[in-house]
Structure 1
């Protein structure tokens, strides 16, 4: 399946979604500079992980063309030692964020500022690990909210995804999800916003995490903050 959707979050940022139906061989044909990327592909990736990896780079190149209004020749997607993607080459000044889970790939390309995106397949794992990544008040609120919904796993997965997006926005290592990535109260819906607080070096900053459901069984969260 080709590009699923493009959404301009601001005049300087675009969010893209790709629904994976292609094989790795088919995705290689869509990827610019395929020979260069062959050297970057993780050696241990199985066919599913290869498709996700390739799909993410195909999507980012599509978003680069959208953001710049031209082909992304001379630019490659690399990963730093922590695994965070960045652009190497002629578009190194752009900010990127990338996520994949199951059959979905999501990415943001922005001209400056900060960005974070996360897509998650709904599973019961987040609910089982809730006490490890939720602050006590967040866990209490989640337990109350999950009693009012038919799918508690979806709610806990949304909370995990929101913290993942906030973590990517922070762009720092060693962050403790339970105490430094904090979520405020919100009324769960199919799509909406979650108030969030990032605690770094004793300073608190306020943020807004947007969320939606790209398809049944998945949640998507994202945030872009342009330069002031």
Structure 2
């Protein structure tokens, strides 16, 4: 499957989304992987995880990068050797990469009912405007999770609590962006977060 979607939020930022329909072998065949990358992908027990991991390397190629251009710091945050900012995500049969001159974060999640079971773990303030009986309840929960995860990746500060440090302002299901805040060490940081839905998935991305 070629690229599923390309989004250009501004002149310094591009988002690319891949729909994973290829087999593990088809994804592996054209790639040139570093020995450490190859060892990592072969050690993965889930083929879905392997295919998601490899699809990200195809997205890198779509940006003009190779696996050798990507590295991770001690916290697991990805970086590019040319200094551009990058964030990576994959969920089931979709993956996405955002690259920018600015600090960024991105997340994709499948919309599943089970998120309601763990909502109390990542939501506090947002319960004030959510309606558990609404038809869009699961979609909104998924969007809130994606917004907070994208901000967590952008802020890159271990130990941040999704429940107490992040606040997502009310939004409608028809919206494509919302405002979110990070409250950390008595400082508040405001962000405009964009999000979209496709084929039962939600994607959110944050740009500093």
Alignment TM-score, normalising by the size of structure 1: 0.83
Structure 2 Cα separation of the partners of residues 197 and 55 of structure 1:
31
> Superposition pairs for residues 188-207 of structure 1, below 5 Å?
188-189=173-174, 191-207=175-191
Q: Residues 75 and 9 from structure 1, CA distance in 2 versus in 1: closer, same or farther, beyond 3 angstroms? A: farther
Aligned residue in 2 for 1:43: 43
Q: Residues 12 and 23 from structure 1, CA distance in 2 versus in 1: closer, same or farther, beyond 3 angstroms? A: same
Asked if structure 2 preserves the Cα contact closer than 8 Å seen for 1:96 and 1:110, the reply is yes
Structure 1 Cα separation of the partners of residues 108 and 7 of structure 2:
15
Aligned residue in 1 for 2:26: 26
Structure 2 Cα separation of the partners of residues 165 and 35 of structure 1:
27
Aligned-pair distance for 1:124? 1.9
Aligned residue in 2 for 1:69: none
Residue 69 of structure 2: SS of its match in structure 1? strand
1:121 equivalenced with 2:110 (yes/no): yes
Aligned residue in 1 for 2:165: 180
Structure 2 Cα separation of the partners of residues 172 and 200 of structure 1:
10
Structure 2 Cα separation of the partners of residues 82 and 73 of structure 1:
22
Aligned residue in 2 for 1:147: 133
Aligned-pair distance for 1:204? 0.3
Structure 2 Cα separation of the partners of residues 103 and 194 of structure 1:
26
Aligned residue in 1 for 2:69: 76
Q: Residues 79 and 5 from structure 1, CA distance in 2 versus in 1: closer, same or farther, beyond 3 angstroms? A: same
Aligned-pair distance for 1:74? 8.0
Aligned-pair distance for 1:19? 0.2
Q: Residues 141 and 164 from structure 1, CA distance in 2 versus in 1: closer, same or farther, beyond 3 angstroms? A: same
Asked if structure 1 preserves the Cα contact closer than 8 Å seen for 2:33 and 2:68, the reply is no
Aligned residue in 1 for 2:201: 218
Which runs of 5 or more structure 1 residues have no equivalent in the other structure?
66-71
Aligned pairs, how many? 207
Aligned residue in 2 for 1:158: 143
Structure 1 Cα separation of the partners of residues 34 and 160 of structure 2:
36
Asked if structure 2 preserves the Cα contact closer than 8 Å seen for 1:98 and 1:118, the reply is yes
Q: CA RMSD in A?
A: 1.9
